[in-house]
Structure 1
Amino acid sequence: LVLSVPAEVTVIPLDMEGTTPPVAFLKDILFPYVEENVKEYLQTQWEEEACQQEVRLWRKQAEEDAQYACWQMDLDRKTTALKQLQGHMWSSAFAAGRRKAEFFADVVPAVRKRREVQTKVYIYSPTSVEAKKLLFRHSMQGDILELVVGHFDTKIGHKVESESYRKIGDSIGYSTKNVLLLTDVTQEARAAEGAAVHAAVVVRPSNTGLTDDKTCYSLITFFSELYLPPST
Protein backbone atom coordinates (compact mmCIF):
# COMPACT_ATOMS: atom_id res chain seq x y z
CA LEU A 1 0.00 0.00 0.00
CA VAL A 2 1.37 3.41 -1.02
CA LEU A 3 -0.17 6.81 -0.39
CA SER A 4 0.90 9.31 -3.02
CA VAL A 5 1.27 12.84 -1.69
CA PRO A 6 0.91 15.97 -3.86
CA ALA A 7 4.21 17.32 -5.18
CA GLU A 8 3.47 20.69 -3.57
CA VAL A 9 4.09 19.19 -0.11
CA THR A 10 7.49 20.29 1.21
CA VAL A 11 6.79 20.39 4.96
CA ILE A 12 5.73 17.50 7.22
CA PRO A 13 4.70 18.09 10.84
CA LEU A 14 4.68 14.82 12.77
CA ASP A 15 2.56 14.03 15.79
CA MET A 16 4.32 12.37 18.72
CA GLU A 17 2.34 9.95 20.91
CA GLY A 18 1.13 7.01 18.85
CA THR A 19 2.63 8.31 15.59
CA THR A 20 6.40 8.49 16.18
CA PRO A 21 6.95 6.94 19.64
CA PRO A 22 4.58 4.14 20.72
CA VAL A 23 1.80 5.08 23.13
CA ALA A 24 3.05 2.38 25.51
CA PHE A 25 6.48 4.03 25.82
CA LEU A 26 4.95 7.26 27.05
CA LYS A 27 2.12 5.86 29.15
CA ASP A 28 3.93 2.88 30.65
CA ILE A 29 7.42 4.36 31.08
CA LEU A 30 7.66 8.15 30.92
CA PHE A 31 4.36 9.21 32.48
CA PRO A 32 4.69 6.84 35.48
CA TYR A 33 8.20 8.20 36.07
CA VAL A 34 6.71 11.66 36.65
CA GLU A 35 3.96 10.35 38.93
CA GLU A 36 6.45 8.37 41.01
CA ASN A 37 8.93 11.24 41.39
CA VAL A 38 6.88 14.47 41.30
CA LYS A 39 6.86 14.99 45.08
CA GLU A 40 10.62 14.59 45.32
CA TYR A 41 11.07 16.91 42.34
CA LEU A 42 9.02 19.68 43.95
CA GLN A 43 10.85 19.29 47.26
CA THR A 44 14.37 19.32 45.80
CA GLN A 45 13.79 21.84 42.99
CA TRP A 46 11.51 24.26 44.84
CA GLU A 47 14.02 27.14 44.78
CA GLU A 48 14.78 26.74 41.06
CA GLU A 49 13.15 29.21 38.66
CA ALA A 50 11.87 26.44 36.38
CA CYS A 51 10.00 24.85 39.28
CA GLN A 52 8.67 28.21 40.46
CA GLN A 53 7.39 28.95 36.97
CA GLU A 54 5.42 25.71 36.95
CA VAL A 55 3.99 26.44 40.38
CA ARG A 56 2.94 29.93 39.29
CA LEU A 57 1.16 28.43 36.30
CA TRP A 58 -0.87 26.21 38.56
CA ARG A 59 -1.27 28.92 41.26
CA LYS A 60 -1.30 26.32 44.00
CA GLN A 61 0.86 25.26 46.92
CA ALA A 62 3.60 22.70 46.30
CA GLU A 63 1.75 19.95 48.16
CA GLU A 64 -1.37 20.51 46.07
CA ASP A 65 0.62 20.61 42.85
CA ALA A 66 1.93 17.07 43.33
CA GLN A 67 -1.62 15.70 43.49
CA TYR A 68 -2.83 18.07 40.77
CA ALA A 69 -0.15 16.92 38.32
CA CYS A 70 -1.03 13.25 38.83
CA TRP A 71 -4.74 14.08 38.45
CA GLN A 72 -4.07 15.79 35.12
CA MET A 73 -2.02 12.85 33.86
CA ASP A 74 -4.75 10.40 34.89
CA LEU A 75 -7.19 12.40 32.76
CA ASP A 76 -4.61 12.75 29.95
CA ARG A 77 -4.84 16.53 30.25
CA LYS A 78 -2.48 18.38 27.91
CA THR A 79 -1.97 21.68 29.73
CA THR A 80 1.18 23.72 29.20
CA ALA A 81 2.05 23.62 32.91
CA LEU A 82 1.88 19.82 33.07
CA LYS A 83 3.94 19.40 29.90
CA GLN A 84 6.63 21.74 31.24
CA LEU A 85 6.80 19.80 34.49
CA GLN A 86 7.12 16.51 32.63
CA GLY A 87 9.84 17.94 30.40
CA HIS A 88 11.96 19.16 33.30
CA MET A 89 11.68 15.86 35.15
CA TRP A 90 12.45 13.79 32.07
CA SER A 91 15.50 15.96 31.41
CA SER A 92 17.26 14.73 34.53
CA ALA A 93 16.25 11.12 33.82
CA PHE A 94 17.61 11.22 30.26
CA ALA A 95 20.77 13.08 31.26
CA ALA A 96 21.50 10.41 33.88
CA GLY A 97 20.92 7.63 31.34
CA ARG A 98 17.96 6.21 33.26
CA ARG A 99 15.70 6.49 30.21
CA LYS A 100 16.09 6.22 26.42
CA ALA A 101 13.43 7.31 23.95
CA GLU A 102 11.74 4.62 21.88
CA PHE A 103 10.49 5.36 18.35
CA PHE A 104 8.68 3.13 15.88
CA ALA A 105 11.24 1.34 13.70
CA ASP A 106 10.12 3.08 10.50
CA VAL A 107 10.37 6.65 11.83
CA VAL A 108 14.09 7.42 11.72
CA PRO A 109 14.77 5.88 8.27
CA ALA A 110 11.76 7.71 6.81
CA VAL A 111 12.76 11.07 8.28
CA ARG A 112 16.33 10.62 7.03
CA LYS A 113 14.98 9.89 3.56
CA ARG A 114 12.82 13.02 3.62
CA ARG A 115 15.83 15.12 4.62
CA GLU A 116 17.72 13.80 1.60
CA VAL A 117 15.09 15.27 -0.74
CA GLN A 118 14.91 18.56 1.18
CA THR A 119 11.54 17.96 2.86
CA LYS A 120 11.37 19.87 6.15
CA VAL A 121 10.20 17.75 9.09
CA TYR A 122 8.70 19.37 12.19
CA ILE A 123 7.21 17.94 15.37
CA TYR A 124 3.85 19.20 16.59
CA SER A 125 2.44 17.80 19.81
CA PRO A 126 1.20 18.97 23.23
CA THR A 127 4.48 17.76 24.75
CA SER A 128 6.68 20.76 25.54
CA VAL A 129 9.37 21.68 23.02
CA GLU A 130 12.01 20.97 25.67
CA ALA A 131 10.66 17.45 26.24
CA LYS A 132 10.44 16.69 22.52
CA LYS A 133 14.06 17.71 22.02
CA LEU A 134 15.05 15.44 24.90
CA LEU A 135 13.42 12.44 23.22
CA PHE A 136 15.27 13.05 19.97
CA ARG A 137 18.60 13.70 21.70
CA HIS A 138 18.37 10.56 23.83
CA SER A 139 16.79 7.99 21.52
CA MET A 140 17.72 4.33 21.24
CA GLN A 141 19.13 5.28 17.81
CA GLY A 142 21.35 7.94 19.36
CA ASP A 143 21.09 11.72 18.97
CA ILE A 144 18.71 12.30 16.04
CA LEU A 145 17.64 15.84 16.91
CA GLU A 146 19.31 17.23 13.77
CA LEU A 147 16.75 15.40 11.62
CA VAL A 148 14.00 17.73 12.84
CA VAL A 149 13.88 21.34 11.65
CA GLY A 150 11.71 22.65 14.48
CA HIS A 151 9.11 21.94 17.14
CA PHE A 152 5.65 23.23 18.02
CA ASP A 153 3.55 22.71 21.13
CA THR A 154 0.28 24.06 22.54
CA LYS A 155 1.73 27.57 22.77
CA ILE A 156 0.92 27.96 19.07
CA GLY A 157 -2.57 26.52 19.59
CA HIS A 158 -4.38 23.27 20.22
CA LYS A 159 -4.09 20.54 17.62
CA VAL A 160 -7.84 20.16 17.15
CA GLU A 161 -8.19 23.80 16.06
CA SER A 162 -7.70 24.74 12.41
CA GLU A 163 -6.24 28.12 13.31
CA SER A 164 -3.23 26.38 14.88
CA TYR A 165 -2.21 24.99 11.49
CA ARG A 166 -2.58 28.38 9.83
CA LYS A 167 -0.28 29.82 12.50
CA ILE A 168 2.29 27.10 11.85
CA GLY A 169 2.24 27.87 8.13
CA ASP A 170 2.71 31.57 8.83
CA SER A 171 5.50 30.98 11.35
CA ILE A 172 7.59 28.87 8.96
CA GLY A 173 6.79 30.91 5.86
CA TYR A 174 4.89 28.26 3.92
CA SER A 175 1.38 28.05 2.54
CA THR A 176 -0.77 25.46 4.29
CA LYS A 177 -1.12 23.65 0.95
CA ASN A 178 2.62 22.87 1.21
CA VAL A 179 2.11 21.07 4.52
CA LEU A 180 1.26 17.42 5.24
CA LEU A 181 0.29 16.48 8.80
CA LEU A 182 0.86 12.90 9.98
CA THR A 183 -1.14 12.04 13.10
CA ASP A 184 -2.96 9.11 14.67
CA VAL A 185 -5.84 11.35 15.84
CA THR A 186 -8.67 11.87 13.36
CA GLN A 187 -9.86 15.09 15.04
CA GLU A 188 -6.43 16.61 14.40
CA ALA A 189 -6.50 15.51 10.77
CA ARG A 190 -9.92 17.11 10.38
CA ALA A 191 -8.72 20.37 11.92
CA ALA A 192 -5.67 20.42 9.65
CA GLU A 193 -7.79 19.86 6.56
CA GLY A 194 -9.97 22.75 7.73
CA ALA A 195 -6.90 24.95 7.28
CA ALA A 196 -6.19 23.51 3.79
CA VAL A 197 -3.38 21.34 5.18
CA HIS A 198 -2.95 17.87 3.69
CA ALA A 199 -3.37 15.17 6.33
CA ALA A 200 -2.88 11.43 6.68
CA VAL A 201 -3.93 9.33 9.66
CA VAL A 202 -1.29 6.88 10.90
CA VAL A 203 -3.00 3.70 12.10
CA ARG A 204 -0.37 1.99 14.22
CA PRO A 205 -1.10 -1.65 15.18
CA SER A 206 -0.71 -0.88 18.90
CA ASN A 207 -3.06 2.12 18.90
CA THR A 208 -6.75 2.28 19.75
CA GLY A 209 -8.94 1.73 16.70
CA LEU A 210 -10.36 4.72 14.86
CA THR A 211 -13.79 5.83 15.98
CA ASP A 212 -14.53 7.92 12.88
CA ASP A 213 -15.40 6.64 9.43
CA LYS A 214 -12.10 5.47 7.93
CA THR A 215 -13.23 6.41 4.44
CA CYS A 216 -13.03 10.09 5.43
CA TYR A 217 -9.23 10.03 5.73
CA SER A 218 -6.07 9.01 3.95
CA LEU A 219 -4.64 6.14 6.01
CA ILE A 220 -1.17 4.66 6.38
CA THR A 221 0.25 2.14 8.85
CA PHE A 222 3.96 2.78 8.29
CA PHE A 223 5.83 5.85 7.08
CA SER A 224 7.31 3.68 4.32
CA GLU A 225 3.86 3.64 2.71
CA LEU A 226 4.11 7.36 2.09
CA TYR A 227 5.36 8.38 -1.34
CA LEU A 228 6.42 11.97 -1.91
CA PRO A 229 7.89 12.97 -5.28
CA PRO A 230 11.49 14.22 -4.93
CA SER A 231 11.72 17.97 -4.36
CA THR A 232 13.00 20.04 -7.26
Structure 2
Amino acid sequence: MNVELRVLEVLLAKRRVLVEELSNLTSCSREVVFEIVSRYNSAIRISNGEIVVSNPLELALILIEKGAELKRISEYLEWRDFEVFSSKIFEEFGYVVERSVKLTSPVRFEIDVLGVDLASRLALVVDCKHWSLAARSRLVEAAERHFDRVSKLVKYYSLVKKKYRVLEKASRLVPLIVTLTAPGVRVHSNVLFVSIRELPALLRDVHLVLDYYGVKPLQLLRV
Protein backbone atom coordinates (compact mmCIF):
# COMPACT_ATOMS: atom_id res chain seq x y z
CA MET A 1 0.00 0.00 0.00
CA ASN A 2 1.43 3.39 -0.94
CA VAL A 3 1.89 6.19 1.58
CA GLU A 4 -1.14 8.22 0.49
CA LEU A 5 -3.52 5.26 0.74
CA ARG A 6 -2.08 4.31 4.13
CA VAL A 7 -2.62 7.81 5.53
CA LEU A 8 -6.16 8.11 4.13
CA GLU A 9 -7.20 4.65 5.29
CA VAL A 10 -5.98 5.22 8.85
CA LEU A 11 -7.90 8.49 8.84
CA LEU A 12 -11.09 6.78 7.68
CA ALA A 13 -10.73 4.17 10.42
CA LYS A 14 -9.98 6.71 13.17
CA ARG A 15 -12.28 9.55 11.97
CA ARG A 16 -10.33 12.07 14.09
CA VAL A 17 -6.70 11.96 15.15
CA LEU A 18 -3.90 14.29 16.20
CA VAL A 19 -1.37 15.11 13.49
CA GLU A 20 1.45 13.68 15.60
CA GLU A 21 -0.44 10.44 16.20
CA LEU A 22 -1.24 10.01 12.50
CA SER A 23 2.41 10.61 11.69
CA ASN A 24 3.43 7.86 14.12
CA LEU A 25 0.75 5.40 12.97
CA THR A 26 1.73 5.73 9.32
CA SER A 27 5.50 6.21 9.77
CA CYS A 28 5.25 9.46 7.80
CA SER A 29 6.66 12.84 8.66
CA ARG A 30 4.28 15.59 9.74
CA GLU A 31 5.09 17.40 6.49
CA VAL A 32 4.02 14.42 4.37
CA VAL A 33 0.84 14.00 6.42
CA PHE A 34 -0.07 17.67 5.93
CA GLU A 35 0.68 17.48 2.21
CA ILE A 36 -1.57 14.44 1.71
CA VAL A 37 -4.43 15.71 3.87
CA SER A 38 -4.45 19.14 2.20
CA ARG A 39 -5.37 17.51 -1.14
CA TYR A 40 -8.74 16.32 0.16
CA ASN A 41 -10.43 19.25 1.87
CA SER A 42 -13.82 18.05 0.57
CA ALA A 43 -13.57 15.15 3.03
CA ILE A 44 -10.97 16.15 5.63
CA ARG A 45 -10.29 19.24 7.73
CA ILE A 46 -7.50 20.25 10.12
CA SER A 47 -8.25 22.19 13.28
CA ASN A 48 -5.88 23.01 16.14
CA GLY A 49 -3.49 20.18 15.36
CA GLU A 50 -6.27 17.61 14.93
CA ILE A 51 -7.30 16.02 11.64
CA VAL A 52 -11.02 15.33 11.34
CA VAL A 53 -12.83 13.35 8.65
CA SER A 54 -15.78 15.61 7.84
CA ASN A 55 -17.19 13.42 5.07
CA PRO A 56 -16.43 9.71 5.66
CA LEU A 57 -18.27 8.46 2.59
CA GLU A 58 -16.48 10.88 0.27
CA LEU A 59 -13.16 9.74 1.73
CA ALA A 60 -14.15 6.09 1.29
CA LEU A 61 -15.04 6.71 -2.35
CA ILE A 62 -11.70 8.45 -2.91
CA LEU A 63 -9.90 5.43 -1.45
CA ILE A 64 -11.88 2.97 -3.59
CA GLU A 65 -11.22 5.01 -6.73
CA LYS A 66 -7.50 4.97 -5.89
CA GLY A 67 -7.48 1.19 -5.69
CA ALA A 68 -7.99 0.42 -1.99
CA GLU A 69 -9.68 -2.90 -1.24
CA LEU A 70 -13.43 -2.41 -1.52
CA LYS A 71 -14.47 -4.90 1.16
CA ARG A 72 -12.07 -3.49 3.75
CA ILE A 73 -13.03 0.12 3.06
CA SER A 74 -16.76 -0.64 3.29
CA GLU A 75 -16.20 -2.06 6.78
CA TYR A 76 -15.11 1.39 7.98
CA LEU A 77 -18.46 2.87 6.96
CA GLU A 78 -21.67 3.05 8.94
CA TRP A 79 -25.15 3.20 7.45
CA ARG A 80 -25.53 6.74 8.80
CA ASP A 81 -22.52 7.93 6.74
CA PHE A 82 -24.36 6.87 3.63
CA GLU A 83 -27.64 8.41 4.74
CA VAL A 84 -26.10 11.79 5.57
CA PHE A 85 -24.11 12.00 2.32
CA SER A 86 -27.15 11.05 0.21
CA SER A 87 -29.23 13.69 1.99
CA LYS A 88 -26.65 16.38 1.24
CA ILE A 89 -26.73 15.53 -2.46
CA PHE A 90 -30.52 15.81 -2.53
CA GLU A 91 -30.36 19.18 -0.77
CA GLU A 92 -27.77 20.45 -3.27
CA PHE A 93 -30.33 19.77 -6.01
CA GLY A 94 -33.07 21.68 -4.19
CA TYR A 95 -34.94 18.74 -2.69
CA VAL A 96 -36.58 18.98 0.71
CA VAL A 97 -35.23 16.05 2.72
CA GLU A 98 -36.40 13.95 5.64
CA ARG A 99 -34.25 11.18 7.11
CA SER A 100 -35.39 8.08 9.01
CA VAL A 101 -39.05 8.34 8.06
CA LYS A 102 -40.83 5.66 10.07
CA LEU A 103 -44.17 4.28 11.11
CA THR A 104 -44.60 1.89 14.04
CA SER A 105 -48.35 1.24 13.99
CA PRO A 106 -50.48 -0.34 12.53
CA VAL A 107 -47.48 -1.60 10.51
CA ARG A 108 -43.75 -1.05 10.94
CA PHE A 109 -41.40 0.32 8.31
CA GLU A 110 -38.58 2.83 8.01
CA ILE A 111 -37.30 4.83 5.04
CA ASP A 112 -33.67 5.97 5.12
CA VAL A 113 -34.07 9.16 3.07
CA LEU A 114 -37.07 10.89 1.54
CA GLY A 115 -36.33 13.65 -0.96
CA VAL A 116 -39.17 15.77 -2.38
CA ASP A 117 -38.86 18.05 -5.39
CA LEU A 118 -41.40 20.79 -4.68
CA ALA A 119 -41.71 21.88 -8.31
CA SER A 120 -42.67 18.48 -9.73
CA ARG A 121 -44.08 17.04 -6.46
CA LEU A 122 -41.97 13.95 -7.14
CA ALA A 123 -40.52 12.19 -4.09
CA LEU A 124 -37.62 9.76 -4.21
CA VAL A 125 -37.86 7.17 -1.44
CA VAL A 126 -34.34 5.94 -0.73
CA ASP A 127 -32.90 2.81 0.80
CA CYS A 128 -29.13 3.20 1.35
CA LYS A 129 -26.93 0.11 0.94
CA HIS A 130 -23.21 0.39 1.67
CA TRP A 131 -22.44 -3.23 0.83
CA SER A 132 -19.02 -3.77 -0.71
CA LEU A 133 -20.26 -6.45 -3.11
CA ALA A 134 -23.72 -7.84 -3.72
CA ALA A 135 -24.88 -10.81 -5.77
CA ARG A 136 -27.82 -10.29 -8.07
CA SER A 137 -30.04 -12.34 -5.76
CA ARG A 138 -29.25 -10.03 -2.86
CA LEU A 139 -30.04 -6.93 -4.91
CA VAL A 140 -33.31 -8.46 -6.09
CA GLU A 141 -34.28 -9.28 -2.50
CA ALA A 142 -33.42 -5.72 -1.42
CA ALA A 143 -35.59 -4.30 -4.22
CA GLU A 144 -38.58 -6.43 -3.27
CA ARG A 145 -38.29 -5.44 0.38
CA HIS A 146 -37.95 -1.77 -0.50
CA PHE A 147 -40.95 -1.87 -2.83
CA ASP A 148 -42.93 -3.37 0.04
CA ARG A 149 -41.87 -0.48 2.31
CA VAL A 150 -42.83 2.12 -0.26
CA SER A 151 -46.17 0.40 -0.85
CA LYS A 152 -46.86 0.65 2.89
CA LEU A 153 -45.94 4.32 2.77
CA VAL A 154 -48.52 4.82 0.02
CA LYS A 155 -51.17 2.83 1.89
CA TYR A 156 -50.63 4.62 5.21
CA TYR A 157 -49.86 8.01 3.71
CA SER A 158 -52.50 9.82 5.79
CA LEU A 159 -50.83 8.62 9.00
CA VAL A 160 -47.22 9.22 7.97
CA LYS A 161 -47.83 12.76 6.71
CA LYS A 162 -49.04 13.83 10.16
CA LYS A 163 -45.47 13.48 11.41
CA TYR A 164 -43.58 14.25 8.19
CA ARG A 165 -45.35 17.27 6.72
CA VAL A 166 -43.09 17.38 3.67
CA LEU A 167 -45.10 14.44 2.33
CA GLU A 168 -48.00 16.84 1.79
CA LYS A 169 -45.88 18.37 -0.99
CA ALA A 170 -45.51 15.04 -2.82
CA SER A 171 -47.96 13.45 -5.22
CA ARG A 172 -45.81 10.60 -6.60
CA LEU A 173 -43.18 8.32 -5.10
CA VAL A 174 -40.21 6.61 -6.76
CA PRO A 175 -38.54 3.70 -4.92
CA LEU A 176 -34.76 4.09 -5.15
CA ILE A 177 -31.83 2.07 -3.79
CA VAL A 178 -28.48 3.87 -3.56
CA THR A 179 -25.39 1.65 -3.46
CA LEU A 180 -21.70 2.18 -2.74
CA THR A 181 -20.53 1.09 -6.20
CA ALA A 182 -22.21 0.64 -9.58
CA PRO A 183 -24.96 -1.98 -9.07
CA GLY A 184 -25.27 -5.17 -11.10
CA VAL A 185 -29.02 -4.59 -11.33
CA ARG A 186 -30.60 -1.35 -12.55
CA VAL A 187 -34.30 -2.02 -12.06
CA HIS A 188 -36.29 -4.70 -10.28
CA SER A 189 -39.89 -4.60 -9.02
CA ASN A 190 -40.14 -0.98 -10.19
CA VAL A 191 -37.21 -0.08 -7.91
CA LEU A 192 -34.33 1.85 -9.47
CA PHE A 193 -30.70 1.25 -8.44
CA VAL A 194 -27.94 3.88 -8.69
CA SER A 195 -24.54 4.22 -7.06
CA ILE A 196 -23.82 7.17 -4.79
CA ARG A 197 -21.57 8.63 -7.51
CA GLU A 198 -24.45 8.38 -10.01
CA LEU A 199 -26.99 10.05 -7.74
CA PRO A 200 -26.27 13.64 -8.92
CA ALA A 201 -26.75 12.61 -12.56
CA LEU A 202 -30.06 10.98 -11.66
CA LEU A 203 -31.32 14.09 -9.87
CA ARG A 204 -30.19 16.29 -12.75
CA ASP A 205 -32.31 14.32 -15.27
CA VAL A 206 -34.64 12.32 -13.09
CA HIS A 207 -37.60 12.18 -15.49
CA LEU A 208 -35.43 11.10 -18.42
CA VAL A 209 -33.81 8.36 -16.33
CA LEU A 210 -37.16 7.07 -15.07
CA ASP A 211 -38.50 6.96 -18.63
CA TYR A 212 -35.38 5.21 -19.90
CA TYR A 213 -35.62 2.43 -17.32
CA GLY A 214 -39.41 2.24 -17.36
CA VAL A 215 -39.82 3.07 -13.68
CA LYS A 216 -43.39 4.17 -12.90
CA PRO A 217 -43.88 6.50 -9.91
CA LEU A 218 -46.48 5.38 -7.40
CA GLN A 219 -49.40 7.75 -6.98
CA LEU A 220 -50.30 9.01 -3.53
CA LEU A 221 -54.02 8.79 -2.84
CA ARG A 222 -55.29 11.80 -0.93
CA VAL A 223 -58.28 11.48 1.35
Q: Do they fold alike, i.e. is TM over 0.5?
A: no
- Hey, which of these two has a bigger chunk of strand by percent? 2
Q: Which TM-score applies when normalising by structure 2?
A: 0.31
Higher-Rg member (1/2): 2
